[in-house]
Chain A
Amino acid sequence: MARPSPFPPFALWLWMSLVLVGAFYYAPLAEGFLGQSSRILFFHVPMAWVAFVAFVAAGVSSVRFLASGRSPRHDASAAASVELGLLFGVLATVTGAIWAKVMWGAYWNWDPRQTSILIALLFYSAYLALRGAVADAPTRARLSAAYAALGLVVAPFLFFVLPRLGFTLHPEPVLNTTGELQMESRMLQVLLASVVGFTALFFWIHSLRRRALEVESRVGPATQGGSAS
C-alpha cells in the first residue's frame, strides 16, 4: 500500500491561499515604501529563504552521500535541491529586481545582497554544469557531492555574511543585529506563514524531483542497454 503524502495537498493549497489573501487584505502597507510595492516582501523573502534552505539541503545530502555508502538516493536528493535552489533563487532575484525598480529606480544596483545572490546562482549553476560534463555516473556523483559539500561554507557566507559587510540599500533584516523583531505584527504573521508555506512547498517538490531522478537513473541504463542490443 502506498504511503500517504507527507504534504496533504489540500492543506497546503488552503495555507498558501490564505497567505495570498492575507498578503493583500490582512497585512497593512509598510511605511516608507511606494504604493503596494511592500506586499512583494511576502513572496520575495520566503523565496530567498527557500533558496538558502535548498542549497544547505544539497550540502547535507552530499555530505551524507560521501560519508555513508554512496547511496544514489542522496546524490539524487542533492541534485534536486540544487535545481530547486536555483529556481527559487532566480525567482527571488527577479522579484527583488522588480521591487528595486520601484523603490530605487533601477532593476540592478550591484547592492551587496543582489551581488551575493548572483554569485550564489553562478556557484550552483557550475554544479549543474559539472554534473552535465561527467558521463560516468559514480564519478559524477562523487565529484558533484564534493562540490556541493563546499557549498555548506559558501552559501551561509553569501547569504548572511557578505551582505552585511558593506553599505546596503536593503532595509534592516526582519531579525536585526540587536536580535529584535522590527516589523508590524500582522505583517510578521503573514511573512512567517508564507515562509512556512514556501518551505513545505519546497520539500514537496523536492521529494517529487528526487523520486523522478531516481526513476530516471533506474530506467536510463536499461533503456540505453536495450537500444544497444
Chain B
Amino acid sequence: VNAKHRLAALAVLLVEPLAAAEPATPTGMAAAKAGESAAGGPLWVVAVNLVIWSGLLLYLVRLERRLRRTDAADGRERAR
C-alpha cells in the first residue's frame, strides 16, 4: 500500500507540478524568490531570446540571398 501511495504521489508531482507547489504568491514576492526584481525580468531569458531572434534573422537573410540568386539564374535561363 505504501509503495502504491508513493507512486501516486510521484505521479501527482510529475503531472501537476504547480498543483503540488505552495499557493501562489503576490507579484513582488514571486519575483524576489526567482532572484529578479519586479521592475526587470530575468536577464538570461532576454539573452536567450536575443540569441534565438538573431539566429532566425540570419537564417532569413541567407534565404533571401539564395532566392535572389535562384531568381537571377532563372531569369538568365529564360533569356537564353
Residues in chain A within 8 A of chain B (CB atoms): 2, 5, 9, 12-13, 16-17, 20-21, 23-25, 28-29, 33-36, 39, 101-102, 105, 204-205, 208, 211-212, 215, 218
Contact = CB atoms under 8 A, between A and B. Distances in A.
Tell me the interface secondary structure of chain B in the complex.
helix
Given A34-B30, A208-B63, A215-B70, A17 B50 contact: yes
Given A9-B60, A101-B18, A218-B74, A28 B53 contact: no
Given A34-B27, A36-B42, 4 more contacts: A24-B40, A208-B67, A211-B67, A218-B74
A215 B71 contact: yes
9 nearest A-B residue pairs (beta carbon): A24-B41, A35-B30, A25-B40, A13-B57, A211-B67, A24-B46, A9-B61, A2-B68, A20-B49
A2 B61 contact: no
Contact of A34 (B24, B36, B60): B24
A17 B56 CA distance: 12
Interface in B2-39: 18-19, 24, 27, 30-31, 34, 36, 38-39
B64 A208 contact: yes
A2 B72 contact: yes
Interface string B42-53: 100110011001
B31 to A, nearest CB: 6
B61 A20 contact: no
Nearest to B26: A34
20 contacts: A2-B71, A9-B57, A9-B61, A9-B64, A13-B53, A16-B57, A20-B49, A21-B46, A24-B42, A24-B45, A28-B39, A29-B31, A36-B30, A36-B36, A105-B19, A205-B60, A208-B60, A208-B63, A215-B67, A215-B70
